[in-house]
A and B are shown apart, each in its own frame.
Chain A
Amino acid sequence: MANENETKMEETLEGTTLFNVPFPKKLDAQTLAFLKQMSPIIVKYPYQINYLHSYGQDSPFFAGLANKVFLGCRDAETGYTYANPRGHDMVTGQETEWVRLPDEGHVHAFTVCHFGSEAFLPQCPFVLILVEFEGANTLFLSRLMGVDPNQASLDWIGMKVKARYLRNSKFQPTDVYFVPAET
């Protein structure tokens, strides 16, 4: 068995932000009871992870965006068409088919985000829209560029918009965004 005095965990400085706090030198009943009044110790540490996220059966949608093609999904039996990829229809339960959707649509609803999640704070203010397409039964969430975010107006609803695609695809839904279309 190892000598008790020689058995030690290795000391490093990694992760330490606080090295000591005041503490009673003599531990008697009074000082132990006094510990109830101690302020909480709060430590800070980073938490970062890289995920490997598969788009699975929805992958052709992102491949389409990288090639400037906007794809939706259609149920063969009913013709119900989703502007968001969906592998199976919610009514028939059948596998859907890929269809090409138009590059033009209309704003169904919008907002201007003046704040946002931490990841998007640097992009504020930005405009979110739900786009409706001719021939599609559901909507698509996207960004609207080319309007003044400080001049938000309900008149934006119904505005004709046109898809634009990033040249350098990031394989994200933001590879497509919309701008006001000339009428």
Chain B
Amino acid sequence: MRPVYAVSGGVSKFAKARPDKTFPAVIKEAYDYAIADLGLEFRPFTELVDGSVASYFSDHFARQLMAGIMAQDYLGLCPKPSHRVEGGGATGGICFQEAWKAVASGYMDICVAYGFETMSHVETWKGNEFIALASDVSFDYPVGGFYSGYYAMMVTRHMKEFGTTVEQLAHVSVKNYTHALYNPYAQKSQRISIQDVRNAPMVAWPLTRLDICVMSDGAAATILASEEGLKKLEQAGAHVTRPLVKVSGIGRGTDAMRMADRPHQSYDDFMRYNALPHEVNSDETRAYYKRLWDKGFRYPGVHSFRAGRMAGKEACKMAQVNDPLKELDFIELHDAYTSSEIQTYEDMGLCRYGEGGPFAASGKAFMPGVEYGLNLPEKPICPVNPSGGLIACGHPVGATGLMQAVFAIWQLQGTIKKHFKSPVLQIKNAQRGAIHSHAGTGTYVTVSILEREG
């Protein structure tokens, strides 16, 4: 595998509805932005790019099969190679990794990953029905197919087993909505309190409307290149931002489609297959987990995402990250729910399984220099969702994982101020960050690690 650089990206404005343009034209907004940010014109870039990967989740929303080729066509990329990927909520993350593979393998020198979703074509509750079709239609969907319901069941188990509180969950919502105040791409930004989150309409107990991301129309695109690709771009007049941003690790994990089928692994199997190096090497953590198992804890159960753990473990191994909390400067994390952000803190190894609630309220995942109106006992260590995440930015499924990639590229380039028109969300001297994309009830999960060179 050869080095792959993430050289540019673009994001359309995410909105509840974008009836002003067809979906290929919304993708073109993001695509054109990514090209323009390289300082290139459309035609010279089209000459250079070797191909693409298209990302969108549901054929139901657009009621259009082969939407990928319509985008490829509209972007002027025909007859170059392309394919569509689909993996639920992780579609964007998978797309990014497939584009990485195209370049890393030597198949392409320059590859564009683009994605979209147009969820406004049906009303919200029909949209929820479409999304719920991503659960087993024989056994799960007919019982009351509703993803917020599935996640709420994970929450009640997490609360019962570990003592996690709804106020701890609400910290995530306050944090992410506050970040979005400084991100012009976010669909929804507002200054809210813990009490506002709890007073919002109850959707699936104990998750309220402010614990849950919204549906969106939107698109995102990223351009990946090899060293050869960089040369070609610069010979054509591109101004590739330096220091370069390199994709230093990718990881992907899976788990059973039906949440009810998740196995209950033993302590020994967990330590052998799932524990992270810094957990295995800590006597205290091994003893902590032994105590959990002695009390009846089973892994992954319905409270944890084994796919997320394996994706993070694989990506960290490749990027030579041993302790994610200390070695990652930020994470753009798939917070479809406040609770799933907390569950993912644990999967990513920012804290131990069962400690996600206190970690959420500790302040460690918050941004320095941002006023949240909260009393946070600890200083920020690894800001999570500095962009505002899915909760505030929105979740146009096929675009979401790529949106995370674009925001991560800008963080590592140090160009947040240029793109957001505000320096507030720029993490100072960000060297290394992760993007995390998550599907279903934790069925497909991708983690990609990006680093600034030099």
Contact = CB atoms under 8 A, between A and B. Distances in A.
22 contacts: A55-B138, A82-B261, A85-B139, A86-B261, A108-B157, A109-B153, A113-B149, A115-B148, A116-B125, A116-B145, A117-B128, A118-B128, A119-B129, A128-B149, A128-B150, A130-B302, A138-B260, A139-B261, A141-B258, A154-B159, A174-B142, A174-B143
A120 B156 contact: no
Given A110-B153, A113-B204, A157-B160, 4 more contacts: A109-B160, A116-B145, A130-B302, A173-B142
Interface string A136-155: 01111111000000001010
Contact of A40 (B19, B143, B146, B205): B19
Interface string A106-130: 0011111111111111010010111
A95 to B, nearest CB: 17
Contacts of A120: 144-146
Contacts of B258: 84, 141
Contacts of A109: 153-154, 156-157, 160, 302
Interface residues of A, number: 44
Interface of A: 40, 42, 47, 53, 55, 58, 82-86, 90, 108-121, 123, 126, 128-130, 137-143, 152, 154, 157, 172-174
A116 B156 contact: no
Contacts of B206: 152
Given A40-B19, A140-B260, A112 B157 contact: no
Q: How large is the interface on B (under 10, 10 to 19, 20 to 34, 35 or more residues)?
A: 35 or more
A64 to B, nearest CB: 14
B165 to A, nearest CB: 11
Q: Which of B132, B153, B207 has the most CB of A within 10 A?
A: B153
A126 B160 contact: no
A111 B149 contact: yes
B263 interface: yes
Contact of A157 (B20, B138, B157): B157
B144 A128 contact: yes
B142 A114 contact: no
A137 B156 CA distance: 20
Contact of A84 (B123, B205, B260, B264): B260
Contact of B143 (A85, A90, A128, A157): A128
A112 B201 CA distance: 13
Contacts of A129: 153
A108 B258 CA distance: 15
